[in-house]
Amino acid sequence: MLRLGINIDHVATLREARYRGRGHGEPDPVEAARLCEAAGCHGITAHLREDRRHIQDRDVKRLREVVTTRLNLEMANVPEIIAIALSLKPDIVCLVPERREEVTTEGGLNVAGHLEAITETRRRMNDAGIETSLFIAPDLTQVEAAVQTGTQFVELHTGQFAEHFLDPSARDEELERLAAAARAAHQAGLRVNAGHGLNYQNLPFLRRVPHLVELNIGHSIISRAVLTGLTEAVKEMLLLMEEYQGG
């Protein structure tokens, strides 16, 4: 069965737009995680960025306390975040590239170019009982490098597939790249996840990619929830307003 991990970063993005630096606010990403688990998802993903643009330290601490499925901490391979992960002990960490100027993670990790450093972090995480995943482009060179690190998972970056989705020729080319990378990773003994830019329209095409274990999806689900959940939110507010006696 293909598992669903839900990235709750954009719940925190909305909160931080109004409550940044206040230590509280709404919507609460931890409550969002509870609702996602109650709805049947198989894991919760949160990216603790160096600039703390959305998820905050307090969020990941609370998530570790309440998540009952599987907590996946996305993180850059930097000392501060490594130390937090080793203390927090999520079920798995996913090492990702990180640039301050990007809106969201724009590319895969250059494992081949940082083999020693990534291998050392993988070792430290595994020694602490934390599994590791590497967020990589569907590139055979990066798959081979990931194998050399000893990681348990790779997460294939589906961003180019999503970007080219409306162009059938380019879309098929990206799907073949994903399929080839998935086959190579699986044959080498790695478990294969995928994510980035997946939505309700393009996801069915991933049936052409073999050996996938889990999809990590955030923005599309949170965006849809704004609309599909809005009617109930308005009704609840109107119900509260019925008791107003200010005339």
106 catalytic, yes or no?
no
Q: Which of 10, 37, 54, 74 is catalytic?
A: 74
Q: What contacts 174, CB < 8 A, 6 or more positions away?
A: 138, 160, 161, 164
Look at residue 101 and give its three-state secondary structure.
Answer: coil
Burial class of residue 164 (count of CB atoms within 10 Å of its CB; 0-12, 13-18, 19+): middle
42 catalytic, yes or no?
no
Q: Which of 10, 54, 157, 196 is catalytic?
A: 196
How far, in Å, CA of 247 to CA of 106, rounded? 54
24 catalytic, yes or no?
no
C-beta separation of 192 from 211 below 8 A: yes
Q: Which of 10, 37, 47, 54 is catalytic?
A: 47
Q: Which two tokens stand for residue 193?
A: 């996840």
Q: Which amino acid is at 2?
A: L
Q: Which long-range contacts (CB under 8 A, 24 or more apart) does 109-116 make?
A: 109/134, 109/135, 109/136, 109/142, 110/142, 111/136, 111/142, 111/145, 111/146, 111/149, 112/141, 112/142, 112/144, 112/145, 114/77, 115/145, 115/148, 115/149
C-beta separation of 187 from 147 below 8 A: no
The catalytic residues are 47, 74, 196
